[in-house]
Every structure is written in structure tokens, then in C-alpha cells.
Structure 1
């Protein structure tokens, strides 16, 4: 390889490396927002549990009468 080709190749590499170095700069990303408060999934969970217990007791009473 001739000296002139080596100089051109070295110049191109230096220019490309400078673009990579500039692309890596910048500020760190902003901090994440705080997580949302722990809210219940459903407000009627206790109502559904009470209804389930009620129907379970009713079914048990009905089956014991037969």
C-alpha cells in the first residue's frame, strides 16, 4: 500500500472516530417517576367473598335437607 493511501485511510478513520465520540456524549436520562400507590384491584372483593360464603352455606343447607 502506498504512503498516500495510508494517509487517506488514517484521515478517514480519524474523522469516523470523532463522529463516534460526539455521538456518545450527552446527559444521563432523567430519573424514573415514582411508582403509583398500591391500590386495590377491585372495590367489591369483600362483597363477592361474602356472597360466595352466603351461597356456599345455602347450598350446603339445601344438600343436607335432601
Structure 2
């Protein structure tokens, strides 16, 4: 094969590949993100943090 024939063959292959790429269906759009409910765990964490903070303050004030 001559260099010119190789270039023509490569050009034809690139055109055919581009047609094959456009012929495919686009991917479906992503669904909504999963819902992350905020339930009792967050409330219990806040309550624990408040009790822990008050306890630390009481212990600190008792030592001074």
C-alpha cells in the first residue's frame, strides 16, 4: 500500500468511527441524589454534646 492509500483508508475509518459514535444513544440522566433523613441520631448527638460541654465547664470551674 502506498502512503496515499493508507491516508485515505485512515480517513475513511475515522469517518466510520465517528458515525458509530453518533449512532449510540446518550446515557440516561442521573437520578436524584438519595435522601438522607435527619432523624433522632442528630438530635441525640446535640443533646450529648450539650451535656458533655456543661460537665466539662462544671469540672473546670470546680478546679479553679
Bucket of the pairwise TM-score, normalised by the shorter protein = 0.5 to 0.7
Superimposed CA distance per residue, residues 27-57 of structure 1 (whole angstroms, 9 cap, x where no aligned partner):
3522332231341588622211111111211
TM-score by length of 2: 0.60
- Runs of 5+ consecutive residues of structure 1 not aligned to the other structure: none
Q: Hey, which of these two has a bigger chunk of helix by percent?
A: 2
RMSD: 2.9
Q: Which structure has the larger Rg? A: 1
**How many residues are aligned here?**
60
- Runs of 5+ consecutive residues of structure 2 not aligned to the other structure: none
Q: Give runs of ≥4 in structure 1 deviating > 3 Å.
A: 40-43
Which residue of the partner structure matches residue 34 of structure 1? 31
Matched, 1:45 2:42: yes
TM-score by length of 1: 0.59
